[in-house]
Amino acid sequence: MRELLRRASVPARRLFLTRVLRNASLAVLGLAGGGLAVKRRRLLREGKCLNQGMCRDCGVFDDCGLPRALSTRSVLARTRYGQ
Ligand code: SF4
């Protein structure tokens, strides 16, 4: 590998290093995103709220099964449809 890099021209080395850094950053971003998704799922499974109880602004409101979200959905349904 080292011999291959030494023989390569400067632009080719630069391109190689740029691609390596780009792919490494994409991998890190992917791992961070996956880690966050796993953490959100784990917290919801454990019954912990992700958004400090502010259900209307929460990204998982439609799928959330926590009591506060169920209550908020019930209130919204009653106020929207006059039940
Ligand atoms: S929808 Fe409501 S209860 Fe569920 S995680 Fe979001 S804020 Fe918490």
Angle at 53 between CA 48 and CA 57, to 5 degrees: 115
Full-prediction pTM beyond 0.85?
A: no
Q: What is the pLDDT of residues 38-50, one digit of tens each?
A: 998 898 889 899 8
Mutate to test the pocket of ligand 1, among 42, 66, 72, 76 (most ligand atoms within 8 A of CB): 66
Burial of 61 (0-12, 13-18, 19+ CB in 10 A): middle
The structural domains of the chain, with segments of one domain joined by +, span 1-48, 51-83
Asked if residue 5 has pLDDT above 80, the reply is no
How large is the average pLDDT for residues 2-24? 86
CA of 61 to the centre of ligand 1 (A): 6
Atom of ligand 1 nearest to the CA of 49: 8
Q: What is the pLDDT of residue 21?
A: 97
Residue nearest to atom 8 of ligand 1 (CA): 49
Please give the single-letter amino acid code of residue 18: T
